[in-house]
Structure 1
Amino acid sequence: MQPPFSVSLILLPGFSLFALGAVRSLFAAANEVGGELLYQVEQYAADGTQVITQCGVVLSAHPIDQLQRADLLMLVADERVEPSIANTTGNFLKQYLSSSHHASESILGGCGTGTQILAEHGLLDGYRAAIHWQILADAVKRYPSIVFTPGLFEIDRNRISAGAGAAVLDLLLHWLEQRHGNTFAAEVAASLGLERLRGSDERQPVPASAQPALGSARLKEALELMAANLAEPLQAEDIAQLVGVSRRQLERLFRQHLDTFPSRYYLELRLKHARRQLKQTTQSILQVGLACGFTSGPHFSTTYRNYFGYTPREERARHSMPQVMTKNSEEDIQ
């Protein structure tokens, strides 16, 4: 009997618990359909023995330097990763691929923003890849040696990648189909309650709020101006003049396509950017507020609380003091 195919999941801070659960459930289902232990899954942390999920839960994991051999190494991430941890992970993978006797047989993958770490360290050069839709445009510019696609996933030789959310399921189901055949993959999908397998040519679903242009070139230009001027917000009159419409026409465009006013949209854009910075960086609360166009700490705090229901300090505390799972819960997930 052949040893099980080893799957090593490298979990990056802020990863989606949904993505981890989906991957582990898929391989558990594959073992069930196959009637034997076809896949052995282990999880690793790039920094220490614990990793924090997107929802603030702490999971235990093996230190990444204990990883000896893996048939499939996959980075799981859903938020931008601190440069130090990203570099630790990328450098480890480069060293592994250059020193391991089995490196040529290993498959390297990423889902969500995990693909960006592979790209940053040259591990996807010459390959096709899928990446989280939120950073797709930036990735195309930053990594010209990689062919990024807007699809749900990509399987290109010994590199596999998926975009956001459930796309990792579609990726791995198609990968299982290549290894075991259509019937096997269909049975795994059915056991997970999936009616069909989505193809790699299907685009990642993007929220309506992230598709703001909706056929209006002037609206698109106005939104690009807002996104480029978060620290020093423009006045509505200035935006209207720059895109070649009156302020009333600009307000009409926003109401028609986004069901809001320019000032409201701009404020939400700045607040949501501030929220990401509070969760993903170590900048002080005042620095975050100023970088998002708020004139003082109290102004930032009051506006943030009015919109989200809690202060920037409380937001940061929610992510710096995560809930710790019980020992039994950790063992269930591992």
Structure 2
Amino acid sequence: MTAHRIGFLVWPGTKALTLALAEEALSVARQVHPEVSYERVVLHAETADAAADTPANAGDWRLPGQPWSAAGLEGLHKLFLLADEPPGPISAGLGSALKQLVRSGCMIGGLSAGVYPLAQLGLLDGYRAAVHWRWQDDFSERFPKAIATSHLFDWDRDRMTACGGLSVLDLLLAVLARDHGAELAGAVSEELVVERIREGGERQRIPLQNRLGSSHPKLTQAVLLMEANIEEPLTTDEIAQHVCVSRRQLERIFKQYLNRVPSQYYLELRLNKARQMLMQTSKSIIQIGLSCGFSSGPHFSSAYRNFFGATPREDRNQRRSNSPFELSSVPAERG
């Protein structure tokens, strides 16, 4: 069997974890199914200003691999660019080699800040790209032709991007599922004690202050209370009492910073939680509705349809039919 060649092009300063997550998924796949064959190639990138990109302690230890070369890139089926922080400009030679590699049919991707060199070369123009929430504004401003998303990872035609952290493992599981089937991806996730296989379209968990766009202490306290009381929602009066403001003052704060009243924000919070459970658990629709604070099935279904434009059952069935991980999807609803 001919080995499938996967390359990892590493920028200076990249931490071992980013590469280790990707390599571990491929290594475990081979252990689980010996017939799965990947040849892994680790290469080191250079920038137009390599000295500025190299951390002061880089001489102490660096990731294994060889300096990149045209010969090292030759014959790759997939190539992932790895960086933990947005790197500087790419050298002309490397940029030319990467563009030639794409023209030859290689599938290319960026992990964490590895999306930046791809975008610099115009290789993400018109493509969706998963960008870490810390860099979204900067990335969108610098590369308006790329479609930056808040997804864990994106696989758009022949481009693959992951926002960083554990999403790197999520993307590699998707690669295994695409190359060898969902059963293998599920076996690898079990071997790695991964709680569940996350889909690329799931959104990054952004810190509360960043999600709210405000550090107002009373607003933060109120939202934390809401998030802690999903199954048995508090009234607006109860929330105001807990955060030590009047109901009217609380409504003014929500209107000023979130452009909605507390009850509306709370409802959206519960509906988003319900949608997450629909896609990630095998609980029945009525169980999910009750656990998210809705008094009855019709009440839950009506509120869900008004907000998302589809009933819970329609949304679940649609997502399941589009998922590449059929074996891990929830069972069909009865009735």
Give yes or no for TM over 0.5. Answer: yes
The reply to whether residue 95 of structure 1 matches residue 100 of structure 2 is yes
CA contact 2:46–2:90 (8 Å) conserved in 1: no
* Change in 2 beyond 3 A, CA 1:53/1:31: farther
Deviations 1:198-250 (A, max 9, x none): 1122222234464463485xx9xxxxxxxxxxxxxxxxxxxxxxxxxxxxxxx
Q: How many residues align?
A: 214
**CA displacement, residues 177-209 of structure 1 (integer Å, 9 cap, x when unaligned):** 122221111001111110201112222223446
**Contact persistence 1:13–1:54 (CA under 8 A):** no
Give the corresponding residue for 1:128: 128
- 1:170-185 aligned at under 5 Å gives the runs 170-185=170-185
**Residue aligning to 1:61:** 65
- Cα shift readout 1:130-188 (whole Å, capped 9, x = no counterpart): 12221112222222222211010001111100002111111111221122221111001
Q: How far apart in 1 are the matches of 2:57 and 2:204?
A: 22
Deviates more, 1:27-36 or 1:146-155: 27-36
Number of the residue aligned with 1:72: 78
TM-score between the two structures when normalised by the length of structure 2: 0.57
Other-structure match for 2:30 = 31
Instruction: Please give the alpha-carbon distance, in whole angstroms, between the structure 1 residues aligned to 2:210 and 2:95.
Output: 30
Change (3 A) 1:209 1:58: farther
1: CA distance between counterparts of 2:56 and 2:152? 21
Residue type at the aligned position of 2:97: F
Task: Measure the CA separation in 2 of the matches of 1:182 and 1:200.
Answer: 15
Larger mean CA deviation between 142-151 and 153-162 belongs to 142-151
Q: Which runs of 5+ in 1 are unaligned?
A: 220-252, 258-334
Relative contact order, CA 8 A, sep 6+: which one is greater? 1
List alignment gaps of at least 5 residues for structure 2.
Answer: 48-52, 220-252, 258-335
- Residue pair 2:209, 2:215 contacting (<8 A) in 1 also: no
Contact 1:54/1:78 (CA < 8 Å) preserved in 2?
no
For the aligned residue pairs, the C-alpha RMSD in angstroms reads: 3.2
Q: 1:36: how far off?
A: 2.8
Residue type matched to 2:24 in 1? S
Does 2:119 match 1:150?
no
Give aligned-pair identity as a percent: 32
Length-normalised TM-score, structure 1: 0.57
Task: Report the equivalent of 2:109.
Answer: 109
Rounded Cα–Cα distance in structure 1 between residues aligned with 2:34 and 2:26: 12
Q: 1:80/1:54 Cα in 2 relative to 1: closer, same or farther (>3 Å)?
A: farther
CA 1:74–1:153 in structure 2 vs 1: closer, same or farther (change >3 Å)?
same
1:173 maps to a residue whose letter is: L
Correspondence list, 1:295-314, <5 A: none
Report what 2:87 is aligned to: 81
Identify if the C-alpha distance between structure 1 residues 200 and 60 changes in structure 2 by more than 3 Å, giving closer, same or farther. Answer: closer
Post-superposition CA distance 1:4-40 (Å, at most 9, x none): 1001100001212111111111100111122135111
Q: Distance in 2 between matches of 1:37 and 1:30?
A: 7
1:124/1:198 CA distance change after superposition, 3 Å: same
Relative distance call for 1:13 and 1:207 in structure 2 (3 A) is farther
Instruction: Specify the code of the residue in structure 2 equivalent to 1:205.
Output: R
Q: Which residue in 2 is equivalent to 1:324?
A: none
Q: Where does 1:265-284 land on structure 2 (aligned, <5 Å)?
A: none
Measure, in 2, the Cα distance between the counterparts of 1:9 and 1:17: 12
Structure 1 residue identity aligned to 2:32 = V
Partner of 1:167: 167
Matched residue of 1:28: which SS?
A: helix
Distance 1:170 1:63, change over 3 A: same
